[in-house]
Amino acid sequence: MDNKQKLILVTGATGLQGGAVARALLKKGNHKVRILARNVNSVSAQTLIRDGAEAVEGNFDDVTSLENAMQGVDAVFSMTNPDITGTGNEQKQGNALIQSALKKGVKQFVHTSVARAGTHADFPGWESGYWSKSYWIGKWEVEENIRTAGFSSWTILKPAFMMDNFAQPKSTHMFPHLQQGELKTAMLAETNLDLIAADDIAAFAVAAINNPEKFNKKNIDLASESLTMREVAEILASVTGESITSVSLSPQEAEEQGIFHGLVRAQEWNNKVGYTVNINSLKPYHIKLTSFNEWAKKYKNDIKVNRV
């Protein structure tokens, strides 16, 4: 176990996963934390600064800002934005982060990707382009670039669906009918959705940073529970005390009712493919996983249901 106080650079720190990692590192208090932020004066960045983080203003498209952020850094928590346009932006971001880290002598690289990246060519209908090729290829190519970059230690976390998508602010976009007490999706009633909390992703990231030898060259699929939408609705209803029902729609019906096309396609993907995380494979890491019920209780105030 390496207990010396390292300097950790967290990217995406004003977002969900990066924010959870930055908070977990600050709470643990055994390392210095630096965040990369487009706007260091944003509320989320200022909150982390007040909690003890150092902030560097910059972005993935500004190589100079990345190199400034990497100065003196021992380990990076990396996340890149998905390529849904086919422009290769995720690969560009990943390469910029990797090259800046290597140039500045960063030893450890912990990256968050997505479960099932790398198996995409086996998805039914893959060649037809029905699933977002740019999304899956972008995720996988960044992973591969990290594995071959030459870092002393690298770890790739591959989370399934985020529990936090059921809470504000994400739920407004992800589940627009939830505030009215309906969990409408294009997922079949029998479809199980693999779930993971951002806090659990952070727990694995912090564990990897604290023990780079144990986590070196590990590709870790992450999920803590697999539930149907009916089970999700029942737990949310139990925790909030509100009436919440799950409604299974056809893809056409889902889009007609205002669910974004990309989300509908992702829900269809869950019906046909899914994350299929082997949750038992995580036991050897001895990291407590959060159940959906535990997560909902913790973030109850962010689960907004205002039935009229």
Whether residue 85 is predicted with pLDDT greater than 90 in this model: the reply is no
Whether residue 264 is predicted with pLDDT greater than 50 in this model: the reply is yes
Question: How is residue 100 written in tokens?
Answer: 């800046």
Whether residue 2 is predicted with pLDDT greater than 90 in this model: the reply is no
pLDDT of residue 1: 46
pLDDT of residue 272: 97
Q: How much of the chain, in percent, has pLDDT values that exceed 70?
A: 98
Query: Domain 7-162+196-223+276-283's class?
Result: alpha beta
Check: CB of residue 209 under 8 Å from CB of residue 182.
no
62's CB contacts (< 8 A; 6+ apart) are none
pLDDT of residue 153: 98
Check: CB of residue 220 under 8 Å from CB of residue 282.
yes
Report strand pairing: 54-57 vs 161-162.
unpaired
The mean pLDDT of 168-195, rounded to a whole number, is 96
Question: How is residue 64 written in tokens?
Answer: 């100079």
The mean pLDDT of 184-200, rounded to a whole number, is 98
The 10s digit of each residue's pLDDT in 34-45 is 999 999 999 999
Whether residue 308 is predicted with pLDDT greater than 90 in this model: the reply is no
The 10s digit of each residue's pLDDT in 193-247 is 999 999 999 999 999 999 999 999 999 999 999 999 999 999 999 999 999 999 9
Q: Which residue would you say has higher pLDDT here, 184 or 1? A: 184
Would you call 22 helix, strand, or coil by DSSP? helix
> 84 pLDDT band (50/70/90 cuts)?
confident
The mean pLDDT of 14-42, rounded to a whole number, is 96
pLDDT of residue 33: 98
DSSP 301: G
The mean pLDDT of 256-277, rounded to a whole number, is 97
Check: CB of residue 262 under 8 Å from CB of residue 84.
yes
Please report which residue ranges of the chain form alpha helices under DSSP H.
16-28, 43-50, 63-70, 89-103, 133-147, 170-174, 198-210, 212-215, 229-240, 251-256, 261-272, 292-298
Q: What is the pTM (predicted TM-score) of this model?
A: 0.96
Nearest to 113 by CA among 131, 138, 87, 84: 138
User: What are phi and psi for residue 197, nearest 5 degrees?
Assistant: -90, 145
The mean pLDDT of 240-257, rounded to a whole number, is 97
Average pLDDT of the chain is 96
